């Protein structure tokens, strides 16, 4: 064996030893839960922080129109698959600040979906408010807009209201950009 080949073997041995000694086993990756720190909701008695809250103009010709969209992670202990509640609220103009929904008054529309991949029978369920109020502190000149809501909900199945009613409430903020 020549000096040159001995040096190659030695260098290769040192590089291999360095590679093995520098590797470390790390714990399994756990995806972090993203929380926007923009509000919370209470769904069927469970209070959770929001993952996200956004808005769009529901009418491009009306600068004060809003469609809010919020989502919260509802995964419970023992559940392995995704479980969330998603809500959208649409208001023609936030100028007034307080919006009601009851048998006679429809000042906003709203819809909630519970997406529970742990439920093999109905992984996506739709809920509608049958009564409720939305309050908005509008950001007329841009900035933080605060929204609160308090609904009485019922499940909607094939266009019919089914099941028992329950409360759904919360508050959130969005950043309005002009």
Query: pTM for the complete prediction?
Result: 0.80
pLDDT in tens, 24-83: 555 665 555 567 999 999 999 999 999 999 999 999 999 999 999 999 999 988 999 999
Within-domain flag for 20: no
- CA dihedral sign of residues 60, 89, 34, 174: positive
pLDDT tens figures, 119-153: 999 999 999 999 999 999 999 999 999 999 999 99
With cut-offs at 50, 70 and 90, classify the pLDDT of residue 178: confident
List phi, psi (to 5°) of 81: -95, 165
Q: Please measure the distance between the N-terminal and C-terminal CA atoms of the chain and give it in whole angstroms.
A: 77
Residue 22 has pLDDT above 90, yes or no: no
Tell me whether residue 134 is in a domain: yes
Q: What are phi and psi of 158, to 5 degrees?
A: 50, 40
For residue 74 the two structure tokens come to 């509802």
Domain membership of residue 8 (yes or no) is: no
Residue 14 lies in a domain: no
| Domain assignment of residue 93, yes or no | yes
Ordered DSSP codes for 42-57: EETTEEEEEEEEEEE-
Domain membership of residue 18 (yes or no) is no
Instruction: Give SS3 for 38.
Output: coil
5 domain residue, yes or no: no
Which residues sit opposite 126 in a β-bridge? 113, 156
Question: What is the domain extent for residue 164?
Answer: 29-176
Q: Count of domains in the chain?
A: 1
- Structural domain includes residue 12: no
Could you report the per-residue pLDDT of 147-168, keeping only the tens digit for each?
999 999 999 999 999 999 999 9
The CA-atom distances, in angstroms, between 95 and each of 41, 136, 139, 147, 149 are 24, 9, 10, 13, 16
| Residue 160 per-residue DSSP state | E
Distance CA 140, CA 61 (A): 15
pLDDT of the residue at 49 = 95
């Amino acid at each position: 064996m020549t000096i040159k080949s001995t040096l190659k073997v030695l260098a290769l041995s040192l590089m291999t030893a360095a590679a093995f000694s520098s590797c470390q086993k790390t714990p399994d990756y756990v995806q972090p839960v993203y929380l926007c720190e923009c509000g919370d909701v209470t769904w069927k008695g469970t209070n959770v922080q929001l993952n996200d809250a956004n808005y769009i103009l529901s009418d491009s010709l009306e600068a004060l129109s809003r469609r809010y969209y919020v989502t919260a992670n509802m995964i419970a202990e023992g559940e392995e698959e995704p479980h969330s509640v998603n809500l959208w609220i649409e208001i023609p103009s936030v100028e007034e600040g307080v919006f009601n929904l009851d048998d006679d008054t429809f000042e906003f529309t709203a819809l909630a979906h519970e997406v529970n991949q742990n439920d093999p029978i109905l992984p996506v369920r739709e809920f509608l408010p049958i009564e409720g109020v939305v309050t908005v502190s509008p950001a007329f000149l841009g900035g933080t807009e605060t929204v609160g809501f308090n609904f009485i909900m019922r499940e909607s199945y094939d266009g019919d209201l089914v099941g028992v009613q329950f409360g759904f409430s919360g508050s959130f903020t969005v950043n309005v950009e002009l």
